[in-house]
Structure 1
């Protein structure tokens, strides 16, 4: 019967088996955390021991429900638009005042802007980039000083399959998501030696509230849901929790050697050459 050597024992102590408490003692900011992938991520992080800073650009029923669900001792809600640099700095200040540190940032807030390139307004272009790219940078720039001072931190950006493949009729959203993946890689390399990791996740079709609303608007919602599922190699639409579990892994100490990379979560859809 073999016994563990000193190196193996050290690794086990450093990287405990997955389970409850994977973020024990950590503080995580999750932007856009009252619905969809953001809400699933906030709930999962809280289950694994993290204190959560919830965020939305408005305080509504969904925001109230999330704050109530997680509890005031474990969660702080800060209303802030990620496109506002000063608002994101204030959010981080409140997080530090409440919890004393920030270990994880999940940049989930985003918006779809789909328009004909030549008919798109300047306002549509600016709003897409102010949220989907500038918003990520605003939050990241706000947390970097405290993470660098700690010598540790994990930033997880929610990108998109649109950052890998082009779907006609979706301009300029893919432009912003390609840029977001570039931002992820650049910052991951920039701060790798100082203990801060920056990674991204690129979800495909995920059954969020927004997708449910879109399906409901179709002439035959059940048919459209089946049609969309049939396009995926796994023959089903993804669940927000599946993205959240990947964010949990990247945020945890289990992923300490993963940096400046992007993980696709699309059921294999982007690898198909043809239908």
Structure 2
């Protein structure tokens, strides 16, 4: 965490006081950062992952309290997501915010990719967001308010060779965001998305570690970015807090890029 982010954290608190949030895929990376910051900002938070493993146990121990609990469930399973929402309503009585963060990378040659790889990519990265959104919408519509935040990707804006079919799913997720945002705008529901670029999550750290020269590769990736540094999960989390808060009440059907300006830079 940078000194600047520490100063921001110290100066702004309570922005989500009284709100109840579900954050899918929240045991690692961006999802965990969002869950932590939501709690710091006064929200009650439901953590979620498709498995109850060591990382889930660790974050439950870190964050678990009367204001936070964990529900296992695969976002690709519509029934499991209905159960997550039902348990949240039983525990907290409402759902104000849904963050669809759960996702997976599927990068394959289009003609060598298996049917299973294609189906799993879309079942998690697109249908997973829809499964949870569909489960939470009735409660939000009844209360006449709600904020749904989809974690998309810079891959939903620019195509990087060798990453098929992941960008297809992320383009579709941004389309889902805009469509649902307009569909329910007059009924108090806001639907927005965030498109992170390169963020230093555990998965990215592992990828760097797998490179022949991890230090050189990390520097190469940082040098590609106009700001010459890789983003931090908390920097995405602060944008999620803003979109979840009443400060963003007139922002709807919008995608926010968090990529250090990378997608706007011209390359030969």
Q: Hey, what's the Cα distance between the residues in 2 that align with 1:71 and 1:165?
A: 38
1:92 maps to 85
2:54 maps to 1:61: yes
Aligned counterpart in structure 1 of residue 209 of structure 2, from 212, 216, 225: 216
2:110 maps to 1:83: no
- 8 A Cα contact 1:23 1:50, kept in partner: yes
2:169 maps to 1:171: no
CA positional deviation for 1:58: 0.5
Aligned counterpart in structure 1 of residue 99 of structure 2, from 94, 106, 118: 106
2:243 maps to 1:254: no
Q: How does 1:174-213 map to 2 (within 5 A)?
A: 174-213=167-206
1:239 maps to 232
Aligned counterpart in structure 2 of residue 50 of structure 1, from 30, 34, 43: 43
Runs of 4+ off more than 4 Å: none
Structure 2, unaligned stretches of length 5 or more? 1-10
Aligned counterpart in structure 2 of residue 141 of structure 1, from 121, 134, 155: 134
Provide TM-score, normalisation by structure 2.
Answer: 0.95
2:8 maps to none
Provide TM-score, normalisation by structure 1.
Answer: 0.93
1:129 maps to 122
C-alpha RMSD over aligned residues: 0.8
- 8 A Cα contact 1:76 1:95, kept in partner: no
Aligned pairs, number: 258
Q: Give the secondary-structure state (helix, strand or coil) at the position aligned to 2:22.
A: strand
Structure 1, unaligned stretches of length 5 or more? 1-17
Q: Hey, what's the Cα distance between the residues in 1 that align with 2:267 and 2:73?
A: 42
